[in-house]
Amino acid sequence: MNAMKRLGFSVWLVAVLSMAALKGEGIDSLIAEYRADQTDLFIIRDVPGSLADLTRKDQLFEQWLKRLDELKFDSLTPAARIDWHLLHTHLIESRQSLALQKSRRAEMEPLIGFFGPVQELLGDRSAKQNLDPEKSAGILAQAAGDLKALRKKLDPEHPTLPKVSPILAVRTAQVLDQLAGKLEQWFSYYDGFEPEFGWWMRQPEGELKKELETTAAFFRKDLAGLKGEPGDPLIGDPIGRQALSDQLAAEMMALPADELLAVANKEFVWCEAEMEKAAAAMGCKDRKEALARIKSQHAAPGGQGKVAQAEAEESIRFLKEKDLVTIPRLAEETWGISMVGEELQKTLPYAAYSRPNIQVAYANESMSHEEKLMSMRGNNAAFLHIVTPHELIPGHHLQGFMASRYSTQRQMFGTPFLVEGWALHWEMLLWDLGYASTPEEKVGALFWRMHRCARVIVSLKFHLGEMTPNEMIDFLGDRVGHERAGATSEVRRYIGDSYGPLYQAAYMTGGLQLRSLFRELTGPGKLSPREFHDRVLREGPIPIEMIRAALKGEKLPKDWKPAWKFAS
């Protein structure tokens, strides 16, 4: 065994032994076993759009729900009861997610229903031992012909099938792309190893792959209007009220979507009033003039990294002076700064965190003149003053550092309501403590706070079918004050498939949850701010009502349901 192979084997063995080390009494061992089951099954059952695979995954979740139910719940410790509810809720949400996938798959049936034999071929493990190359070649050739016929029937100039909506067109194109990748993977298993395989299969496999790619492009360009140009329409896939309600329950959220919208609108009004005060202190007639002024106060080309560095050091000094949270020495040493490239700024127009770096967005020399100006205005010094602690310390960098060291069995239950809510809680607490000391810094902090309120409003309304992508852009531009390019980039990310439907709503909502919990548990005779924050970090990235139960020492019953009205 050569050195590289020995190294690979060692890494694998350490992973196995680490998993085995988790085995013990209580829920930890069950979570480890479930994660292993889920990982193994999802690796094997991965044919895109396959109803058989969705059904098998559902069986796994059902099996584990039964196993949890049979556990002697009354004998569990308070901490183990929290883990029980985390796993139970995860399994319920996973089954609901599969149900949504099946529903969406049914909507695509007229477009990809003929792919059943191909999906069965790609996913049938026994076929690998008894593959009939001639028969399999016929299946691929038939599917390639069916795709050609489908394009003809859907031709916008002479359609013979009902018109396909842009949403359905994009969804179908994604499945076709995934099938093309799976087909290539399947083909490589046999090619060159089975003597007759290449003779029969090379041509039909190549033809089907070409047809999959051509048809996916047809759905995107001809049916959805996505040409790969700046003026392309923004197309998302709203999940609807019921699925939104299911996902809120999975996040252990007692407030329904309509109440969250009311909370966000109330916060937005507060922000607007404070913004007018800060604008007046700057000598501006209104907040638009104040925003325009601070947007002009940005670093010169090449200087944004230095500004981020200085802001990070200032926030750490402030935290230590106020004794607000423990900052391990290694956590303070191991953050860095990187730049967001021109292409990525189309969906990431502002600073963000990618462990261990704060990713700084700024004008690149390859941008057009107007793009450079918008990027510089949108990443001005006042904005970066609060964004930097949000992304680094005490925000995501410190959070990630601690999550990798404490309650690690809970990482699979991570929720944006805690991950993003933690950073928003700090934005609000730093405001209360005077971290924004100048009117300009207050305008910058309030801009982002308004932005978080807007994220709740536009994202929930989008998934409820009450706001279009263009209306979302207008709201971010007119009501919050985003540059048009920045607002467009934000909305493109909100409605894309990189984030869950509730992710954008989680920032402000999670922040308000932690803010409420902070007020409940700190003060004379209670926890100090530092004790509170340290304990939250050690509970893992789980729903905040579960953190509340842990910090209060509650012994949750088996029939527990979310009930915390944190914003009432």
Q: Write out pLDDT tens, residues 443-465.
A: 999 999 999 999 999 999 999 99
Picking from 466, 468, 465, the residue whose alpha carbon sits closest to that of residue 235 is 468
Contact 183, 176 (CB under 8 A): no
| Whether the Cβ atoms of residue 73 and residue 16 lie closer than 8 Å to each other | no
Residue 372 shares a structural domain with residue 459 = yes
Backbone angles phi, psi at 352, to 5 degrees: -150, 175
Tell whether 200 and 251 lie within a shared domain. no
Residue 234: what residue type?
Answer: L
pLDDT at position 357 is: 87
**Which pairs with CB-CB distance under 8 Å and at least 24 residues apart come from 112-117?**
112/49, 112/172, 112/175, 112/176, 114/143, 114/146, 115/49, 115/143, 115/146, 115/179, 117/142, 117/143
Taking residues 201-226, report their average pLDDT.
Answer: 96
Same domain, 292 and 394: yes
Q: pLDDT-derived band of residue 514, with 50, 70 and 90 as boundaries?
A: very high
**Sign of the alpha-carbon dihedral angle for 403, 408, 411, 417:** negative
Binning pLDDT at 50, 70 and 90, where does residue 225 land?
very high
Confidence of residue 17 (pLDDT cuts 50, 70, 90): very low
Interval 190-212 mean pLDDT: 93
Tell me if 564 is assigned to some domain: no
Choosing from 63, 87, 107, the residue where a domain stops is: 107
Question: How large is the average pLDDT for residues 170-189?
Answer: 94
**Same domain for 272 and 413:** yes
Say how far apart CA 202 and CA 191 lie, in whole Å.
8
Q: What is the pLDDT of residues 475-508, one digit of tens each?
A: 999 999 888 888 998 899 899 888 899 999 999 9
Q: Given a cut of 90, is residue 526 above it in pLDDT?
A: yes
- Print the domain residue range for 526: 242-552
Query: Among 5-9, 123-127, 519-523, whose mean pLDDT is lowest?
Result: 5-9
Q: What is residue 10's predicted lDDT score, i.e. its pLDDT?
A: 42
Mean pLDDT of the chain: 90
The region of weakest confidence among 132-141, 365-374, 462-471 is: 365-374
Q: Give the model's confidence band at 21: pLDDT under 50 very low, under 70 low, under 90 confident, else very high.
A: very low
Which percentage of the chain shows pLDDT scores above 70? Answer: 94
pLDDT in the model for residue 486 = 83
Of 50, 75, 107, the one marking the end of a domain is 107
Q: How many CB atoms lie within 10 A of CB 457?
A: 25
Of 510, 380, 501, 536, nearest to 452 by C-alpha is 510
Would the pLDDT of 204 be above 80? yes
| Residue 229 included in any domain | no
**What average pLDDT does this structure show over 340-356?**
80
On the question of a cis peptide bond just before residue 524, with omega within 30 degrees of 0, the verdict is no
User: Do residues 531 and 517 share a domain?
Assistant: yes
Residue 117 lies inside a defined structural domain of this protein: yes
Q: Does residue 235 sit within a domain?
A: no
Average pLDDT over residues 1-18: 42
Is there a single domain that holds both residue 178 and residue 258? no
Q: Does residue 560 belong to any structural domain of this protein? A: no
Cα distances from 344 to residues 114, 230, 307, 489, in angstroms, run 37, 14, 21, 10
Average the pLDDT over 196-222 and give the result. Answer: 96
What is the per-residue pLDDT for 126? 55
pLDDT at 26: 65
Q: What is the pLDDT of residue 347?
A: 74
- Which pair of tokens denotes residue 467? 């706001």
Supply the pLDDT for residue 3: 45
228 assigned to some structural domain: no
Q: How far apart are CA 468 and CA 307, in angstroms?
A: 36
Residues 525 and 377 in one domain: yes
* Same domain, residue pair 437 and 535: yes
pTM (predicted TM-score): 0.86
Does 114 lie in the same domain as 103?
no
pLDDT at 420 over 90: yes
Q: Helices 27-44 and 51-69, interaxial angle, to 10°?
A: 170
pLDDT at 12 over 60: no
With a cut of 50, say whether residue 104 has pLDDT above it.
yes
d(C-alpha 117, C-alpha 104), whole Å: 20
Judgement on whether residues 87 and 116 belong to the same structural domain of the protein = no
Taking residues 29-42, what's their average pLDDT?
94
Q: How far apart are CA 161 and CA 80, in angstroms?
A: 55
Structural domain includes residue 174: yes
Which is more confident, 66 or 296? 66
Of 223, 251, 279, the residue at which a domain comes to its end is: 223
Q: Do residues 364 and 342 touch, judged by C-beta distance below 8 A?
A: yes
Characterize 101-127 residue by residue with b for buried, 16 or more Cβ atoms within 10 angstroms of its Cβ, and e for exposed.
Answer: beebbeebebbbebbeebbebbbeeee
pLDDT value at position 20?
37
Q: What is the pLDDT of residue 1?
A: 44
pLDDT at 279 over 90: yes
Q: What is the pLDDT of residue 128?
A: 58
pLDDT the model gives residue 129 = 62
429, 303: one domain: yes
Q: Is the peptide bond before 394 cis (omega within 30 degrees of 0)?
A: yes
* pLDDT single digits (tens) 357-404: 888 888 888 888 888 888 888 888 888 899 999 999 999 999 999 999
- Residue 371 included in any domain: yes
pLDDT of residue 568: 59
Domains in the chain, number: 3
The reported pLDDT for the residue numbered 433 is: 97
C-alpha–C-alpha distance, residues 352 and 338, integer Å: 10
Task: Assess whether 407 and 536 both reside in one domain.
Answer: yes
For residue 125, name the pLDDT band (cuts at 50, 70, 90). low
CB 243 within 8 A of CB 100: yes
Per the listing, tokens 């190294």 go with: 7
